[in-house]
Structure 1
Amino acid sequence: MTDHYPQDTVATRDDDGTLTLPVTDRWNTPLGKPNGGWVLASMLRAAMDHTDVGRPVVAAITYFASPEAGTTATLTVTPVKLGRRVQTVDVDLACEGKPLARMTASFARDHHGPTQELGAAPELPDPGTLPDPRQGGMPADGLFGRVEYRMAQAPGWSQGKPSGDPTTTLWQRLDGGSEIDWPAVGLLVDASPPPVLELGHLVSMTVQLTVHFHRLPEPGSWVASRFTTRHLADGFHEEDGELWDDQGRLVAQSRQLAILL
């Protein structure tokens, strides 16, 4: 399959100075809308490409509405404070004048400090020993054709038997083992089916997503991923995520608020 990452997340500057991004269907979810992780990755790349910042440490995005494939989005990048240690940038995404998402992200340059890991990566079999779900009937178009997944067992919801435990552990990587950069880390925290599906709720849309960035995985490696939901109230639920490299080091953490439709 043709590798469209990172090209599909690159905004270009028009002659009038406007940053534009074609909205492709290559990252659509089964709901027929572009994946929220792809939106975050595109906005994060715009901030990194068009301001003088370091590497991301945190990004918080609020989604107002989904863009439509085939349209062109405009992005507005606004530096908030470009400090010596932390640089903060706002990015707004709109289509045809309609605001669709707003992201505030902070970055750091050459920062070094203590590291202590108190958590542990999910225990998963070697991804090379696990089946490709695309060969077992999972759709291979849209998002599922751009991200590879390996699971120790098929989720209950996919077999019409939700387990009641909204926890998912799996391996992920960009299709074909393409290098995972910082925007792709933002994509992968929202690239797999939500664990709330194990409660029998089959339509969930992200309202807000926050990502803490720790490190990049080695090129071509798989990312061990754990996602959990513990609270469902009035049709809203949280989802906590962790990404770990294949050496057992934390890549990123995420928390999102989503609504059931």
Structure 2
Amino acid sequence: MYDLDTTSHPRGDGVRDLTLTDRWNTPLGKPNGGYILAAMLRGLGEEIKGSDPLVAAITYLASPETGPAELRTSALRRGRRVQTGEAALWEGDRHIAQLVASFAGRDGGRTHELGTPPQLPAPDDCVDPRGQGLPDDGIFDRVDYRLAARPGWADGAPNGDPTVELWQRLAGGREIDLPALALLCDSYAPPVMELGELASMTVQLTVHLHRRPEPGWIATRLTTRHVVNGFHEEDCELWDEAGNLVAQSRQLAILL
């Protein structure tokens, strides 16, 4: 479903047709922001014929609905190493989201990694949270999750620590490409729920895409450290099973 649901079709002059489906809806009944980002990033990359996506920054301007949408793209700069473009998502006369993204080849270069991946039990030894606090439809039926333990908020007892570590993969084991990594940065319940908050909605999300992951599950670390005037940040790290950092993100979200 991922390939079908993130496909857009060129109309000409940088405009593409896209259908947002309810198969990636959140419990709020709206298409998930990570799903929207993946679809926009994939369409923009195809339109400007960029290399691999490197960084993507999206601002959500209006609440999306399922149904037909229009992606309006343009190239901003075609540098020797980095190509940059932008895309606007419209539903009728409603401007839903605005994306700026850069693309670049991965031809090696210096690498220094000072971080460490989450220390999780093997996925087969973890808990499947669907039906244990998480819904089993919408995006939660499109992504597989495994947690070391059942979250406190699922039992009505938030643990006070807005940090979550878990495994993720696309349902059915579909290979995870770079736009799918962007989706997985915003696919799970927000860790701020461990503070007793019921829900939040992303305002702005920036994703750094470091490398294509090795096949398998993605170890994920989500953290929130600051809640200010009804807004909070959420940081995400994604690591493949080989211990490589494959993506990271920061978003600003509003409490509902």
- Report what 1:84 is aligned to: 80
What secondary structure does 1:158 align onto? helix
Q: Return 5+ residue gaps in structure 1 as ranges.
A: none
Distance 1:112 1:138, change over 3 A: same
Further displaced range: 103-112 or 87-96 = 103-112
What amino acid is aligned across from residue 102 of structure 2 in structure 1?
S
Question: Are residues 1:202 and 2:202 paired?
Answer: no
* Residue correspondences, number: 256
Distance 1:106 1:258, change over 3 A: same
Report 1:54-203 matches (<5 A).
54-69=51-66, 71-134=67-130, 136=132, 138-203=134-199
Further displaced range: 86-95 or 123-132 = 123-132
Relative to the length of structure 2, the TM-score reads 0.96
Per-residue CA deviation, residues 138-194 of structure 1 (Å, 9 max, x unaligned), is: 422100000000000011111100111000000000001111011100000000000
Per-residue CA deviation, residues 10-39 of structure 1 (Å, 9 max, x unaligned), is: 111247874111111000001100000000
Distance (Å, rounded) in 1 between the aligned partners of 2:172 and 2:49: 31
- Report what 1:41 is aligned to: 38
Q: Return 5+ residue gaps in structure 2 as ranges.
A: none
- Report what 1:235 is aligned to: 230
What secondary structure does 1:133 align onto? coil
What secondary structure does 2:130 align onto? helix
What secondary structure does 2:144 align onto? strand
For the aligned residue pairs, the C-alpha RMSD in angstroms reads 1.4
Identity, % of aligned pairs? 57
Deviation (angstroms), 1:218? 2.0
Distance (Å, rounded) in 1 between the aligned partners of 2:108 and 2:175: 24
Question: Are residues 1:12 and 2:16 paired?
Answer: no
Deviation (angstroms), 1:135? 5.3
Which consecutive aligned stretches of 4+ in structure 1 deviate over 6 angstroms post-superposition? Answer: none
Distance (Å, rounded) in 2 between the aligned partners of 1:6 and 1:99: 24
